Amino acid sequence: MTAARLVVLASGSGRTVENFQDQILQGQLRASIKLVVVSSADLGVVKRAKRLGLAYLVIGKSTHPEFQDRQAALIEAIDGAQPDWIVMAGWLQLLPIPSHWEGRVINIHPALLPAYGGKGYFGHHVHEAVANDRQVVSGCTVHFASAKYDEGPILLQEAVPLPTDATPDQIGSMVFEAEKRVYPEALQALISGKARWQDGKVLWTVN
């Protein structure tokens, strides 16, 4: 099986990018990261990309102040890398999804969608909401991206039991450990054909 070509989009520390690269180097993920697109040059993900020897490109408000220009630059850069899969790893902008990308863009959300999803629910904001509601379970969700935040069909989820009175930081740490397992697993399922997009739904092949 030929290694899948990935473009990864990130707006944070780059922990997920590094996790993917670790999985690739360990032979657990049959893929190669062709490009990391970042939304700002001063993000931690840039340092990680350099350390890991990954090509990266900055496309954000600093490089393309106009929204339409920024969207066009994103599409051009991603198409230029000829990816099999476009993977969002803490990308904090709504990504345009042209018809030729449909069913090839995936995202991970740090909660069990549809709970705690939608505009404004990202990163620490999600964990704060979960802590404030004194939930006993949270988790993460890998889903196909769509034109609306966190509403694409769900690919894979993992629940994370929470201790009583867990803080947002504790929840974030526990959920990220689940993300490190679930995101590569979901992506490998797509690469291998075990899971696939069909007519806006996720279909799994049961061996």
User: What are 62-73's pLDDT values in tens digits?
Assistant: 999 999 999 999
1 confidence band (pLDDT: 50, 70, 90): low
Q: Domain spans of the chain?
A: 1-96, 107-202
The whole-number pLDDT of residue 76 equals: 96
pLDDT digits (tens, 9 = 90+) for 164-180: 999 999 999 999 999 99
Round to whole Å and give the CA distance between 35 and 17: 11
Report in angstroms the alpha-carbon separations of 21 from 8, 32, 117, 149, 205.
Answer: 11, 8, 27, 26, 26
104 confidence band (pLDDT: 50, 70, 90): very high
pLDDT at 88 over 70: yes
**Which has the closest alpha carbon to 111: 174, 167, 48?**
174
pLDDT at 55 over 80: yes
The whole-number pLDDT of residue 113 equals: 95
CATH class of 1-96: alpha beta
Round to whole Å and give the CA distance between 158 and 138: 9
Q: What predicted TM-score, i.e. pTM, was given to this entire model?
A: 0.94
Which residues are registered as beta bridge partners of 137?
161
The whole-number pLDDT of residue 159 equals: 98
pLDDT at 140 over 90: yes
| Residues of the chain above pLDDT 70, percent | 99
Q: Which residues make Cβ contacts (< 8 Å) with residue 164, sequence separation at least 6?
A: 136
The whole-number pLDDT of residue 161 equals: 98
The whole-number pLDDT of residue 96 equals: 85
Interhelix angle 124-132/168-192, rounded to 10 degrees, is 120
Asked which of 15-29, 90-104, 132-146 is least confident by mean pLDDT, the reply is 90-104
- CATH superfamily membership of 107-202: Formyl transferase, N-terminal domain (3.40.50.170)
CB contact at 8 A, 171 and 127: yes
145 confidence band (pLDDT: 50, 70, 90): very high
